Amino acid sequence: MKKLFFKYVLFACILIPANTVIAKEHKAEKQQDKQEQEHKTKKKEKGKEEKKEEKEEKINYKPQIEGAVKAKVEISTYTGEHRFNVRNSRFGIFGNITRQMAYKIQVDFSNEGKMSILDSYAEYKLKSFSLRLGQQQYSFSTDLSRGPSTNMFANRSFISKYITSYYGEEISNGKITDVVKTIGSRDIGALFSYKPTELPLAFYAGIFNGSGINNPEWSDNVNFVAKIVAGKDKGFGAAVSYYGGRTPNHSQVITKPGNILETETCSNPLEMVGAELRYAGDRYLIEAEYAQRWLQQAADHVITAAHVQGYYKFPLPKNIFADHIAPIARWDMGDNIDYLNLDTKRREAFSANRITAGVNIGLAKKLLRSEIRLNYEKYFLKKRPSDFSTNPLLQDKFTIEIVAAF
């Protein structure tokens, strides 16, 4: 009996320490497994971060080349006269120097028959922020900012052609003649933008010389622009904008005692407001834009312009003469628009509606890049100017245009 008792005691003395050791070893193994799992998780997360950083590091630092040639023939259906014209011949280069620094240079060798530098700026980028300094588009209006490779029509809308106009006076052969000019869509200055990643919004604000392109004049005045854009590339979008400042320096005629005519340099206050709506799909776009300009001269002179325009892209079967065709249509109106009468050499104003319709034959998959455009313009003038029969500007016309952009 005693032997049996001692056996149980001996067995217990062996079993209890053994169980304790096993429990400790099991606990250690679990702790080791936990540490290994945490190490794997950290390694996995580190790998994701490294891949993300590697992806972010993939920035193309090679200079990119772009350009466009826009040539056309216009036929007046009122007189039967025609003209061939190379409207644009653009060449540009852009790219990234570092992650934060970018640049762009663009020249037009045939901007209505003249050579001019269009873009010449450097851009600093930091996440959602950017700052451009130099000669650039000041982003008041979408249609105003469009070039030959982004405009869907052969001729520009009333907004892009007339809304930035101003006028002055000169003396020619002892008589007063008017000069109608335009600020255009570009100026020299600084443009700040903010595009939050979590919202489909973009904010723009800039200050510019107000003297137009390639004209860095000294001044105690700056022109200011602001714009808010809502929406993505596809779907619904909207924008509002404001521009305020003064016109570039220009001449104006004053009459001194004895009816002596003299010219003096002046600059007039100018303001513009704009609003835009659009809806875009994979194959179609419809958009509307409104703009108004106030020019304070001898009396306030207000220009109002608006348009609704759009297209629909129909893909064509392969191995055919083109990639797609896109019917296009535009209605635009202009009220009290500056107009230089070629007979009297004096500034007048016209009011009109215009309908433009046609078809763009696309030779490349991307819209507007390589096209043959067939456009017809019909004007509905409130009153014909006296030089209407000799000035084809406001005459109905048919246009055939070729655009090659790269």
Q: Report the C-alpha gap between 344 and 325 in whole angstroms.
A: 44
- The pLDDT of residue 57: 57
| Separation of alpha carbons 404 and 350, rounded Å | 34
Positive or negative CA dihedral for 155, 160, 162, 166? negative
pLDDT at 20: 53
pLDDT along the chain (406 residues), means of 10: 43 46 53 64 60 62 94 96 94 96 95 86 96 97 91 94 91 85 94 95 97 89 96 95 94 82 88 97 95 83 96 90 94 94 90 97 87 97 93 96 93
d(CA 114, CA 279): 36
Residue in 402, 369, 337, 390 with CA at minimum distance from that of residue 157: 337
Kindly state whether residue 22 falls inside one of the protein's structural domains: no
* Residue 48 located in a structural domain: no
Domain count, the chain: 1
Q: What is the pLDDT of residue 308?
A: 98
The residue with tokens 């305020």 is 244
Query: Which of 210-229 are b and which e, b meaning 16 or more Cβ less than 10 Å from the residue's Cβ?
Result: bbbbeeeeeeeeebbbbbeb
* Closest among 66, 69, 145, 64 to 371, alpha carbons compared: 69
R_g of the chain, CA atoms, integer Å? 34
On whether residue 10 sits in a domain, the answer given is no
Please state, rounded to an integer, the average pLDDT across all residues of the chain. 87
What's the rounded Cα separation, in Å, for the pair 302 and 162? 12
* DSSP string for residues in 296-346: ESSSEEEEEEEEEEEEE-EE--TTSS-SEEEEEEEEEEEEEEEEE-TTT--
Contact of 170 with 263, CB cutoff 8 Å: yes
- Say if 234 falls within a structural domain: yes
Look up tokens 């019917």; give the residue.
327
| CA neighbor of 157 nearest in space, from 242, 326, 238, 276 | 276
User: Does the residue 72 lie in any domain?
Assistant: no
Residue 161: which domain range? 81-405
135 three-class SS = strand
Report whether 354 contacts 380 (CB < 8 A). yes
For 337-394, write each residue's pLDDT tens digit: 998 999 988 889 999 999 999 999 999 888 888 999 999 999 999 999 999 999 999 9
Establish if 271 belongs to a structural domain: yes
Whose tokens are 């008017």? That residue is 178
Q: Is residue 63 part of a domain?
A: no
pLDDT in tens, 272-316: 999 999 999 999 999 999 999 999 875 678 999 999 999 999 999
Q: Please report, for the domain that includes residue 146, its CATH number.
A: 2.40.160.10
pLDDT attached to residue 180: 87
The pLDDT, as a whole number, for residue 10 is: 39
DSSP letters spanning 243-256: EEEEPPPEEEEEEE
Note whether residue 43 is domain-resident.
Answer: no
**How many CB atoms are located within 10 Å of the residue 260 CB?**
8
| Alpha carbon separation from 321 to 63, 316, 324, 327, 357 (Å, rounded) | 33, 9, 9, 17, 22
- Output the pTM of the full model: 0.82
